[in-house]
Amino acid sequence: MRHIISLLMENEAGALSRVAGLFSARNFNIESLTVAPTHDPTLSRMTIVTRGNDRVIEQITKQLNKLIDVVKLVDLTDSSFLERELMLVKIQAIGEARDEIMRLADIFRSEILDVSPTTLVVEVTGASKKLDAFLAALKKDSVLEVVRSGATGVARGDKALSI
């Protein structure tokens, strides 16, 4: 099952490599990983999308918690949460295809960020599934580049991951 693990860690050199190293060393799956400092500059927030059965996910959260640099952790998928990922797609857009892509962009409530005579760059934001759906709707050979940020997320309601 897909899980989104969100964690706060010390904003220190090498902290990211400890997390990334843990996943490879213990043969855990990693689908995406994003990290950036928070409003507290001593803390970074990391979001990891991973897959595994309950036992594997339990080990992942325990092993992450064991890292000295990890301050706090939550498995967002344990309760109701919001998920957002940002994607930039550069698409070949000539002739009729141009209109079609623009219509599609409209349906997905995405923005066209760049226009050239032969290409468009579209920004799509949403849950990762929505981004997948947008890509699926495009003609495969028209996609020149896909840049995805990896998922980020936050729990709904008054629950907050903070120290």
CA distance 102 to 12: 43
For other proteins, the binding residues (CB under 8 A) are 9-10, 13-14, 17-18, 21, 25, 55, 58-59, 62-63, 65-66, 68-72, 163
- Of 54 and 158, the one with the shorter C-beta distance to other proteins is 54
CA distance 10 to 146: 31
- Of 18 and 148, the one with the shorter C-beta distance to other proteins is 18
Task: Give the shortest CB-39-to-other proteins separation in angstroms.
Answer: 16
Other CB atoms within 10 A of residue 58 CB:
12
Task: Give the shortest CB-50-to-other proteins separation in angstroms.
Answer: 16
Task: Give the shortest CB-74-to-other proteins separation in angstroms.
Answer: 15
Identify the burial level of 5 via C-beta atoms within 10 angstroms of its C-beta, where 0-12 means exposed, 13-18 middle and 19 or more buried: buried
Please, what sign has the CA dihedral across residues 145, 140, 106, 95? positive
- Of 73 and 151, the one with the shorter C-beta distance to other proteins is 73
